[in-house]
Structure 1
Amino acid sequence: MTQLKLPDIAAQNLDHSQPLDWVGMCGIALPIAFEGRTAAAKIDAGVSLVDGSSRGIHMSRLYLALESLEQVPLTPVALRRLMADFLTSHEGLSSASYIRLRFEHLLKRSALVSPLAGWKSYEVEVNARIENEMFHVELSVSVPYSSTCPCSAALARQLIQQQFQATFTAEHVDREAVLRWLGTAEGIVATPHSQRSLAKIQVRLRSNQATLPITELIDQVETSLGTAVQTAVKRADEQAFALANGQNLMFCEDAARRLHETLKQAPWSSAFKVRVEHAESLHAHDAVATSQWGWEVRCEA
């Protein structure tokens, strides 16, 4: 029996030419290695289709090229080679290549005071592209933290002052009596409201950056804010956390400004975007602030 040649529908020409900006695949599962560990990633990979007369691209070539990420650690160099391979396998069809990786980064975090420790998961996204013969890598992380409202703290302090005046009416007060009073619910009649908050950071890495500073970026964000959410805690840790919140009162605007100044000092950052979200415990809506540096200004939803 004669072996028939398999038809290649993608190679057929079209009656109407139309280039396409992006053609590829989304949600590809792949293990990736970075910082000495392995993570399960979801990957979007694609190329432009500048030859509008071609029916389509070669999806299988993109898929097979992704296998290179299983062999080497995830670095800007590895991504650049992969992007170049995408274009080489689509010579004459494509002029730009793109990839997006999404995965969870697990870090073991120590408690503030006690010897306890626990795992925290951070959402990470890496975007790379070759476009107009230029290579770019962008790193994004989401970092949860706690925020205590400065206005609420001031109002709570005023109520405590008023309660003190109502309780201690004499001109001279007993120090021990005041100390005991401060340790009662009657003494601290009001507390400021706090909320779990989220910092979303997107950084464009410098062209000579050799590694992906994922953990370093997360550490810098948490250090800048001072109120990273905790894992396993004892009462001493909870007390230390309350102290950290009291010493880091911040509106969403304050948090965004802190992060802006921190990221401007990062040696591997050529541009960044910051978005902080405070899931208000007072309101039924969130408070949000954004900032950017080195990025072209655009209106975003």
Structure 2
Amino acid sequence: MNTNRDNTQRAMPDVATERRPELAGALDWVGMDEIELPVLVAGADGKAQRVSARVAAFVNLHRPEARGIHMSRLYLHLDRHLSAETLTPAALRRLLRDFLDSHEGLSDRARVRVRFDHLVRRPALASGNSGWRSYPVEIAAHLDDAGFAAELGLEVQYSSTCPASAALSRQLIQEQFARDFADGAALDRQAVLAWLGTPAGIVATPHSQRSSVTLRVKLAAGFDFPITELIDRVEHALQTPVQTAVKREDEQAFALANGQNLMFCEDAARRIARTLDADERIADFRLRAAHYESLHPHDAVAYASKGVEGGYAPEE
């Protein structure tokens, strides 16, 4: 059997090095998207956990005569860094530095985006049970001559009960009470309590709906990605995050939380903006609160941003 093919390193063609003057031109970004990779992320307990992620990796191509970049080098750097280091701004800076060092003379800008679902175990409101919640997370970073920057994006789902609908429902309940209990007649406490437990006692209910806030934050220097802490702060500001394990006592507690936290999308956006503005780790933020209305087929939406000079635009 001829083993020369196995034992001899062959020269292989590399058409990427061939010049095509008729196609010359600089390119803003070249790279790969939707790369499937495991990444290490700090969990709620601070320990690193491995999650499945979708990654995008790009560099620019500022040499117009160069036909292409070295995409395999980007992939190998991603595999080496993301599988061995917990995802932090410092780790991403090292990764992007390797992107540029491996493309010296070709590129002077690099960026990376990592998308994954962050799992957090959440306790039930009253029953003592617990369950898992999955939060979509996106981490992005870029490096160029102006420096390094990293940002964190995530989505949190919650329930919103309309204040206007609640007021209209209360009015109808008052009117039903006036019809069922004659003006001037003596009220019997037990009769009123019994009435409140009948359909007549809650003749109308306010509309509520699943809602979500999507936000993006730029971190101040020196801080790691506060994924779980940021989710906790948003949910605490809203008071009505969606639940996992739900028994009847949990559902009742959830109804109480909704009744005590009536909110328009404007209210939700302001609550979240206030808590983000007070967090020293966050240099800038932009958020979108969307209420997927049950009253009509369109959504009610509010945007908010920190408003720092040169920061995020007021809306997307």
Taking structure 2 as the reference length, the TM-score comes to: 0.92
1:117 pairs with 2:133: no
Q: Distance in 2 between the 1:3 and 1:240 partners?
A: 70
In structure 2, the residue matched to 1:217 is 230
Change (3 A) 1:272 1:94: same
Alignment-mate amino acid for residue 183 of structure 1: G
Q: For residues 32-82 of structure 1, what are the alpha-carbon distances to aligned partners after superposition, in whole Å with 9 as ceiling and x for unaligned?
A: 111121100000001011111100100011000012110111111110000
1:27-46 matches, within 5 Å, as 27-35=34-42, 36-46=48-58
Retained in 1: the 8 A contact 2:156–2:213? yes
Offset at 1:291? 0.9
Offset at 1:4? 5.0
Offset at 1:130? 0.5
Among 24, 28, 31, which residue is 1:24 paired with? Answer: 31
Retained in 1: the 8 A contact 2:305–2:314? no
In structure 2, the residue matched to 1:75 is 88
Alignment-mate amino acid for residue 236 of structure 2: T
Taking structure 1 as the reference length, the TM-score comes to: 0.96
Change (3 A) 1:87 1:282: same
1:15 pairs with 2:21: yes
Offset at 1:148? 0.2
Q: Distance in 2 between the 1:103 and 1:175 partners?
A: 56
Unaligned runs of 5+ in 2: 43-47
Alignment-mate amino acid for residue 33 of structure 1: L
Offset at 1:9? 1.7
Q: Distance in 2 between the 1:31 and 1:297 partners?
A: 32
Q: Distance in 2 between the 1:298 and 1:246 partners?
A: 31
Alignment-mate amino acid for residue 208 of structure 2: S
In structure 1, the residue matched to 2:63 is 51
Offset at 1:5? 2.4
Q: Distance in 2 between the 1:66 and 1:261 partners?
A: 36
Offset at 1:6? 1.8
Q: Distance in 2 between the 1:268 and 1:43 partners?
A: 25
SS, match of residue 146 in structure 1: strand
Q: Distance in 2 between the 1:57 and 1:207 partners?
A: 31
Q: Distance in 1 between the 2:33 and 2:150 partners?
A: 18
In structure 2, the residue matched to 1:243 is 256
Alignment-mate amino acid for residue 279 of structure 1: Y
Among 144, 157, 169, which residue is 1:156 paired with? Answer: 169
In structure 1, the residue matched to 2:11 is 5
Alignment-mate amino acid for residue 301 of structure 2: V
Offset at 1:298? 6.3
Offset at 1:297? 2.6
Q: Distance in 2 between the 1:296 and 1:32 partners?
A: 28
Offset at 1:98? 0.6
In structure 1, the residue matched to 2:297 is 284
Alignment-mate amino acid for residue 140 of structure 1: G
1:297 pairs with 2:292: no
Alignment-mate amino acid for residue 12 of structure 1: E
Among 178, 186, 201, which residue is 2:192 paired with? Answer: 178
RMSD: 1.4
SS, match of residue 200 in structure 2: coil
Unaligned runs of 5+ in 1: none
Alignment-mate amino acid for residue 182 of structure 2: T
Q: Distance in 2 between the 1:281 and 1:289 partners?
A: 17
